[in-house]
Structure 1
Amino acid sequence: MKNGRIDVDSQVFDTKTEAQEWLRRERAALLGGIDPRAGKELVKSALERWIVIRKTTVASTTYESDKNMIRLMPASMKNVHLSAVSDREVARAFEKLLASGLKESSVKRFRASLSPFFSWCVREKLIRANPVIGVKVPKGSDEVEEMDPFEEGELETAYQAWRMKDERLADILLVLAWTGLRWGEARVMQVADLVEVPTPGLMVRRSQSEGHPLKATKSRRGRRVPLANRVLPIVRELAAGKEPHALLFTPAGGGQLWRAHTLRTLGWSVKDDAGNNIGTGRGRRLHDLRHTAACLWLTRGVEPGTVQAWCGHESIATTNRYLHFLGTSADRAGLNRLNDDPGGIRGAREGRTGV
């Protein structure tokens, strides 16, 4: 096929009908401004060019995630022409990544980088359409993350054990168990985030994973979490004498919270010679303090919609996981019926005249 005097592309077909169909599509593409020769570039070549551009146009965390595409992308996609990548090829790539043992969440992150890459290819007129659009990541076989919250009485017992190790860190963990703050959110909470009007609470505006720059919260939206009377005096004491933009939750020596130091100081995961966990964390993860808060609120009668807002859940379905874990009022009512004195049933049986 020629565009004027320039040879644009050529192809061999078994039938004249197939050749005519191909010629019609390629001419339409030229009229739309897409050169069929551009689509002959290998995916890995275009991907390397795109990664260089991303380094200066997106956040560092996004850039690092995008770079992982080079390592994760299956060879069956990486070593073909851009124009050869269809939605079927994209779906197969997702399936291969899952089959290789990659978690569903990691494949979703891969997709979140793959789609912008092919969108860039469309903008650069290398291909006609983004083949990722409309292709979802198949459901993986990841085990659902289990939660192991503290019961309120158990939490108080653990708190006393933490205080024997470090009073300041014990106070901070108790606040996490009553507010549902994520560890990254607590690390960068400022004194100015403490509000007492109209009700005591903490404004959650930012987060910071250890070793990473400051970022927005997981939902990318701020939220307000309550400060119950059990932890309000603790937070007030932690804020006393500090400047508004100083860190609110700090160890006794000052500075920022660090997970490893906190767990080591509190003896969180200590094991005996037989390998039994005898640590103050009682076999739980630090993140279970967040689960503890949600369960504590629901047990105390807080409406699920309010718990959703306090936790920052995008979907009420996430909040409902805690209801399933705790059991609903209908579950409790049903159990009460099962435990009721079955005298009425016996009476009915005694009144029968025959079997």
Structure 2
Amino acid sequence: MRQTAQHIAGEWVFGTPKSRRSSRDVPLLDRGLIADLKAHKMQHPRSGDGDALFWPGRTPGSHRVDYGRVWDLASFRRNYFKPALMRAELPAIRVHDLRHTAASLWLAAGFPPYQVSRWLGHASVVTTDTIYSHLYPTDYAQHIARFERYANVVGQK
């Protein structure tokens, strides 16, 4: 099931994605992460229940995990994300900044901007280009070599 969750006035409100493009599949591109998520899923107390929440929330006022409660971003930021950044001696960033990191890494790895745009849910590749164009390669050595190989093959025909 695909749905949205918003924390409004202290309550979780569930709804449908705002547009067709809001529902998308984003591939996991790391085999280690995939293995870790599979292990988490197999150890989940409601494994096999398609309606179960994948990430547990916490009982208010404690650190006790509660699979019946919705995962709370503010609690995650406060209790896990910020301490992890401090231990790693990284600057304070927003969780949303991880989205930009992913997009930057995908583009640096050579994924086509159109594909990255779809994974991010942008309405147009122009949005992706506007935000991330400074990350495109400026060393065209690989492009030159590829074009020369192509030109040589075409020239031999």
Q: Which bin holds the TM-score, normalised by the shorter protein?
A: 0.5 to 0.7
Q: Does 1:238 align with 2:26?
A: no
1:207 equivalenced with 2:4 (yes/no) = yes
Alpha-carbon distance change, 332 to 323 in structure 1, aligned in 2, over 3 angstroms:
farther
Deviation digits for residues 71-126 of structure 1 (CA, Å, limit 9, x no counterpart): xxxxxxxxxxxxxxxxxxxxxxxxxxxxxxxxxxxxxxxxxxxxxxxxxxxxxxxx
User: What is the TM-score of this pair, normalised by structure 2?
Assistant: 0.64
Give the TM-score of the pair, scaled to structure 1. 0.31
The superposition leaves residues 41-99 of structure 1 with CA deviations (integer Å, 9 ceiling, x where unpaired) of xxxxxxxxxxxxxxxxxxxxxxxxxxxxxxxxxxxxxxxxxxxxxxxxxxxxxxxxxxx
Q: Distance in 2 between matches of 1:217 and 1:312?
A: 11
CA distance in 2, matches of 1:218, 1:293: 23
Find 1:295's aligned residue among 91, 104, 120: 104
- The equivalences for 1:6-155 within 5 A come to none
- Assess, with a 3 A threshold, how the Cα gap between structure 1 residues 261 and 245 changes in structure 2: closer, same or farther: same
Would the aligned equivalents of 1:268 and 1:282 in 2 still touch at CA under 8 Å? Answer: no
Higher normalized strand content (fraction of residues): 2
* Cα distance in 1, alignment partners of residues 78 and 86 from structure 2: 13
**In the superposition, relative to structure 1, how do residues 279 and 264 fare at CA in structure 2: closer, same or farther (>3 Å)?**
farther
Displacement of 1:227 after TM fit? 1.6
RMSD: 2.8
Looking at structure 2, the residues matched to 324 and 244 of structure 1 have their Cα atoms a distance apart, in angstroms, of 39
Tell me the amino acid that sits aligned with residue 214 of structure 1: F
More RCO (CA 8 Å, sep 6+): 2
1:319 alignment partner in structure 2: 128
Residue among 269, 285, 289 paired with 2:94? 285
Aligned to 2:54: 248
Report the residue type matching 1:210 in the other structure. H
Instruction: State the partner residue of 1:333.
Output: 140
Q: Which runs of 5+ in 1 are unaligned?
A: 1-192, 194-204, 271-276, 335-355
2:28 is matched with 227
Letter matched to residue 41 of structure 2: A
Unaligned stretches of 5+ residues in structure 2 = 58-63, 142-157
- How far residue 217 of structure 1 moved from its aligned partner, in angstroms, is 2.7
Residue of structure 1 equivalent to 2:60: none
Aligned length: 123
- Aligned CA distance change for structure 1 residues 315 and 279 (closer, same or farther; 3 Å): farther
SS state at 1:230 partner? helix
The C-alpha deviation readout for 1:190-226, integer Å capped at 9, x for no partner, is xxx6xxxxxxxxxxx2211223411233544421110
Distance 1:323 1:267 in 2: 25
Moved over 4 A (4+): 277-281
Label 1:279 to 1:260 Cα distance change in 2 as closer, same or farther (>3 A).
farther
Identical amino acids, percent of aligned pairs: 28
Give the C-alpha shift of residue 262 in structure 1: 0.6
Distance 1:267 1:213, change over 3 A: closer
Counterparts in 2 of 1:291 and 1:218: CA distance versus 1, 3 Å? farther
Question: CA-to-partner distance for each residue in 1:298-337, whole Å, 9 max, x for gaps?
Answer: 11111111111111111111211343231x23x2339xxx
* 1:259 has 2:73 as partner: yes
How far 1:290 moved relative to its partner?
Answer: 1.1
Partner of residue 144, structure 2: none
Contact 1:206–1:216 (Cα < 8 Å) also in 2: yes
